[in-house]
Amino acid sequence: MNTRDRLIVALDVDSPEKAIHLTKLLSPYVGAFKVGMELFNSVGPEIIYTLKKLGANIFVDLKLHDIPNTVARASRVLTSHGADILNVHAAGGKEMMQSAAQAVNKEVLDKGLTRPLVVAVTVLTSISARAFKEEIGFAGEIEDKVVNWAKLAQAAGLDGVVASPQEIRAIRQACGPEFVIITPGIRPSGGAVHDQKRVTTPGEAIAAGATYIVVGRPITENSDPVQAARNIVSEMN
């Protein structure tokens, strides 16, 4: 895989105009674009079709988390919209994740579509060790929970997980070389951390075993987004 194909840019914007502008500007330099809750809820699923027409690969980041039937139906819809990657939340349990994977496979078979990657979100990169224990109420260490959820996602038939850079090596060891690890919480050397707690640099994430990294504000809010993206690819190398 080409290094630039491993960089996903988060389109954390609230208008189609901004999303289209960034996609056109950055497409030659990155592998895919993430459509998250802000953009999807502002514009609706039409934004997926619009960006796909520009030749972009799209990661639809809605973190589906509901009863198995509801998540299965939503997963089928997102597959039909053309998502290249979609995610559910591992906290929904094995049955929910299995339902999502099976629904995606059936939609692909029924309509002759290209199968998206289906991945599970583990512990958000904004969650600190203190919040993990004192606010959310989990016992033990974050890494242990993330690895357990990753193994559960793999057993449920999912392709991989979304996890912070700090858990990459442990997931890779537990789930093997083919398991997809998508890593947010990436900040270029010397960059601002913002609201992230468990972060690392692009080069460190790739060296640890990340399949893809997700970068938002350090690129999209930079005065020169193209150069910012090129710098991150260089750091990945």
Annotated ligand binding at 63? The verdict is yes
Annotated ligand binding at 3? The verdict is no
Annotated ligand binding at 24? The verdict is no
Catalytic residue among 66, 94, 106, 151: 66
Burial status of residue 66 (CB atoms within 10 A of its CB: 0-12, 13-18, 19 or more): middle
Annotated ligand binding at 87? The verdict is no
d(CA 2, CA 51): 21
Annotated ligand binding at 177? The verdict is no
- Mark whether 195 is an active-site residue: no
Annotated ligand binding at 81? The verdict is no
Annotated ligand binding at 196? The verdict is yes
- Mark whether 66 is an active-site residue: yes
- Mark whether 63 is an active-site residue: yes
Annotated ligand binding at 34? The verdict is yes
> Which residue from 199, 221, 71 is spatially nearest to 126, judged by alpha carbons?
199
Annotated ligand binding at 62? The verdict is yes
Annotated ligand binding at 65? The verdict is yes
Burial status of residue 1 (CB atoms within 10 A of its CB: 0-12, 13-18, 19 or more): exposed
Catalytic residue among 18, 63, 94, 106: 63
> Which residue from 55, 2, 48 is spatially nearest to 26, judged by alpha carbons?
55
User: Tokens for 163?
Assistant: 């996890």
- For the chain, the C-alpha Rg in angstroms (whole number) is 17
Residues designated as active site: 61, 63, 66
Q: Which residues are annotated as part of the binding site for substrate?
A: 12, 34, 61-70, 125, 187, 196, 216-217
**Which residues contribute to the annotated binding site?**
12, 34, 61-70, 125, 187, 196, 216-217
